[in-house]
Structure 1
Amino acid sequence: MIKTETPALSPSDYKGPAAIYVHWPFCLKKCPYCDFNSHVRDEVSHQRWRAALVREIDTFASHYPGLEASSIFFGGGTPSLMEPETVSAVIERVRHHWGKDDIEITLEANPSSVEAARFRAYADAGVNRISVGIQSLDNDVLKFLGRLHSAEEALKALKVAQDNFCRVSFDLIYARPQQSLEDWHAELTEALSFGTSHLSLYQLTIEEGTAFYHQFHRGKFTLPDEDEAAALFDLTTELTTNAGLPPYETSNHAAPGQASRHNLSYWRGDYYVGIGPGAHGRIPAHRYGAAYAHAQVKRPEDWLTRVEAFGHGTLELEHIGAHDRMVEAVMMGLRLTDGIETLALEQRFGGKLSDIINKEAQADLVRSGHLVADPARLMLSPKGRPLLNFILGKLVA
């Protein structure tokens, strides 16, 4: 790992697609389950932040002029707290340097009434896909999750989103304390009735450093056990598939052609650039198949002053060789329902899949019905998908 007081990026003459992630680190309140780089501030200088985001894009573009933006994703934090002028300025600058006609541009939004009123301005700025953080349709659950909106506000925001964007997704969290199969069946059935083309459905996990982590380990609440969680996962797959939104990734479900292009870039091991505090990226290196992993300064104020001083907020830069990139691609690619195309992976990174797979574990997992392996493809079976992390630990040498 390279750590420098005066950061330096490594230029590349790579020409090709890359996803662009833009991180807005501010929230009105920190949710108790959230371990993302998000912060609550009384005041934010939007003009100063707008200038810094644009400047960082300019700096990356000067080192990587051959990139073609396949997607832009505004994540956070709460990006729907951004002024529409900032969103517009970022999109314009990405298009100026790396633009092409067909760019998927997603913005994550919280469903408060104030933020929903901005949806039309975001659409005018160029956003063409919105992801609404509803999380639950039950007010008691929303209170437990620390959300500031009610179920009624969430549904109003969803209606505004559908009126302004052709592509709408929303998130729900399940496998919650004391949640039964009947409860989840009713809630997910209602969610599917709204007719969005994409759903992100996440099982509640306890992340170290969060408020829930401390509450959980003090016995304040419990989560479903492995068998109950697996049953909830299976029910999720059944209901979404029957509704025409089958899973294309462990937690993501979409109608045909409506999968998130941006997130597919991560899961397929493509290049991506991280803009903003705490953002990460995989940017092109000169050697075939290799990349530089870059990580941005996390604290918002430190990132801001660093960009104003140096032009970008990258603090750490690590060279990742083709072999390690291939390992990453396998671990991410097995999240996808379609798995990994073996030949394409090997041609891309110049190695053999068999060199990074535990052959004995693979044979055992195939025999047990958790894995499907043939010369063309490696993928988890429906039986194996709920056990992704366990299987990765066994499979990847």
Structure 2
Amino acid sequence: MDRRSLVKNLGIAGATVAAGALAACGKKEEAAPATAAASGGAPAVQTGETVRWRLASSFPKSLDTIFGSAEMFAKTVKELSGGKFEVSVHPAGELMPAFGVVDALQNNTVEMAQTASYYFTGKDPLFAFSCAVPFGLTARQMDSWKEQGNGGKLMNEFYAKYNFFSASAGNTSTQMGGWYRKEIKTVADLQGLKMRLGGGIFGETMAKLGVVAQNMPAGDVYQALEKGTLDATEFVGPYDDEKLGFNKVAPFYYYPGWWEGGADLEFFINKKAFDALSETNKAIVMAATKVAARDMTTKYDAKNPIALKNLVAAGTKLMPFSKEVMDAGYKAAMEVFAEHEAKSPEFKKVHQDMRAFQRDQILWNRFSEFRYNSYMATLNNL
């Protein structure tokens, strides 16, 4: 696909930024200074005017929706630059462990990462807000908070401490509540449950409910469930969960994932490397993030319902969390937020800003999509 036809097909999310990038492509491209790698100080590879970056993902290649977002980013950068800017994409474990990407960016080892920010709440609980927190924002609300509200500004001020800034890599939308080897009828059923969880604040919340949180890469979960070293896991939703085979080792599939109303995956971009780019290449990078983010989110919306039907047909027991469990989760989550607010004014500032934005969004949704979708569900006997 040539650059002209690519822009035609970008869609609203990327077309405006991409057009600005391409308008500058007639100018002579500047060669970007090398970014020093931590391992021996080796520079980023460049050939003449060709810029070469490396992108380290926290996800395996098998997750074509999430990892595919990184691949779409690299493909778009190459096409928009006419082949003069190439990004090699590396799955978890190839350049570094899945959870090693923030350290790599901070040390200028790689130019980019693709990850979920809440994996790094051990460094600072504030990381969670840029991906998902319990009873947090939906996908559309998260996009709006980051791009039209204060979310993006607040998070990038925080990320500056770690030598990078972020752009969305796509949103999973509201996730499922995970796979369990036994039924979860009451809060008591959570006591002592060993569960793979995505992030720190959620883990702290579940700990108040008696769950023993385990944070591990998706690729290690199946074997742990099969061996019984895990009792439950949550990951994303039907499409990814079917590919990972969780239904074969944990028959009960609960919903909704109240801890991830809309998990936003992110590109973390090394600030030093980005600042060294020409203005044209900077525009190309930002345009490509928007293309990749839209691609991921729309794929999930298209693929999840088909996968859910497949899972149910294969014998999965699809079950809602009881109101008792939801209420207990909400109470525990608010206690965790209050504890962190008492320790960190920065945490309080971001959390309160997000909640104020969320209240307005819920008010509007009450009169728009919620009522509309409820009516359409009755028409379709759903």
TM range (shorter): under 0.3
TM score, norm. by length of structure 2: 0.27
| Higher RCO, Cα 8 Å, sep 6+ | 2
Comparing both structures, which one devotes a greater share of its residues to helix? Answer: 2
Bigger share in strand: 1
